[in-house]
Structure 1
Amino acid sequence: MIKSELRRAALAHRAALSSQEVAHRSQQLCDQLFQHFPVAEWRWLHVFLPITQRHEPDTWRIIRRIWAEKMPIRLAVPVVPADGVSLTHYELTAETLLHLNRWGIPEPAAATEVPATAFDAVLVPLLAMDRAGHRVGYGAGYYDRFLAQCRPGTQFIGLNVLNEPLPEAIADVRPTDVPLTACLSPGGVQHFGSIR
């Protein structure tokens, strides 16, 4: 299948989930992250903040656990700049003031900018992925451009509240698409080859 078809199907499937089911699956993803990855050893983790009305994974569960356990890791979140082309990244602390952008995504009102090369791991939003780690997002290409800027060795970990990888490959993968190194879904963790 092609991305536009997969995107449509995944959005409908995700919209049909109850808020309670999204919360339950989000907790599963959080538990898996800390069980299968050395989170406390990372220096910087990039995490997206969820659009709750779109039933995105609740990444606040991950963020609050890091803060509650006083892990030394630092967090950063994305901001869509005025040019509408590339993401910028800003540190997130418990004191960071947030506001909603025009898409309903929480963003820091003022914070320290962090370069893409700083991150040890990036939690990546997605709607679907195949068994090679290629993902379907919302289609704007923000994350592919961002991930291409990260340093070698950065882990790209997808968060999927839906299903396992697709049984067949995404038909219209482009050369600029950056594959995931792993993905968390309610059924468990999938790894997609070596870290680049």
Structure 2
Amino acid sequence: MQKRKTLSSDEVFLLSEAIFKNFVNFFKPFPGQKVHIFLPIAKFNEINTQIFVEYFLNNGIRVFVPKVVDQKLISIEICKDSLFETSSWGILEPVSNQDSGIKEFDLVITPVLYCDGLGNRVGYGKGFYDSFFQELYGKPKKNRGELLQSR
């Protein structure tokens, strides 16, 4: 986390673009897929996932983003016209509180501080994604960092 905080906004942007290109080459997303993707906390220099969101929306891929409502992470489907507001945590979230009810995604992209050798993620310790993953149908595949290592 300390190392990430030292990155300039230009470095975050360039690294985000590189990760995005690796993601598309590795996973080859296609129209009709359902992707759940986090929106970044800018003050933590998280990857700029807006690049991903724009690509998905422009290519017929359904996009779902998280929102915490009543201490539970729900999944809200967004479109190009969706309205957003900044949460108390500094995260851009949809204005809507309408949970999509979707429990099966083709891809789930989550924030992470690091992953161990088995692909287990360590986040910020609130447990929202741990609970979210338990509710999903099937067992999500873990990438274990091959995306980052391939650049």
Scaled by the length of structure 2, the TM-score of the pair is: 0.90
Moved over 6 A (4+): none
Distance 1:129 1:154, change over 3 A: closer
* Rg larger in structure: 1
Does the 8 Å CA contact 2:104/2:138 hold for their aligned counterparts? no
Does the 8 Å CA contact 1:133/1:181 hold for their aligned counterparts? yes
Q: For 1:74 and 1:129, how far apart are their aligned partners in 2?
A: 26
Q: CA deviation at 1:76?
A: 0.6
Residue number in structure 2 paired with 1:104? 90
Q: CA deviation at 1:181?
A: 3.9
Q: For 1:150 and 1:28, how far apart are their aligned partners in 2?
A: 29
Gaps of 5+ in 1: 1-10, 156-179, 190-196
Q: For 1:39 and 1:100, how far apart are their aligned partners in 2?
A: 28
Distance 1:184 1:52, change over 3 A: farther
The share of aligned pairs that are identical, in percent, is 29
The CA RMSD measured in Å over matched residues stands at 1.9
Q: CA deviation at 1:153?
A: 5.1
Does the 8 Å CA contact 2:119/2:144 hold for their aligned counterparts? yes
Residue number in structure 1 paired with 2:78? 92
Q: CA deviation at 1:182?
A: 4.2
Residue number in structure 2 paired with 1:14? 4
Residue number in structure 1 paired with 2:103? 117
* Residue among 23, 33, 58 paired with 1:33: 23
Does the 8 Å CA contact 1:44/1:76 hold for their aligned counterparts? yes
Does the 8 Å CA contact 2:86/2:93 hold for their aligned counterparts? yes
Scaled by the length of structure 1, the TM-score of the pair is: 0.70
Q: CA deviation at 1:112?
A: 4.5
Q: Which amino acid aligns with 2:30?
A: A
Residue number in structure 1 paired with 2:145? 183
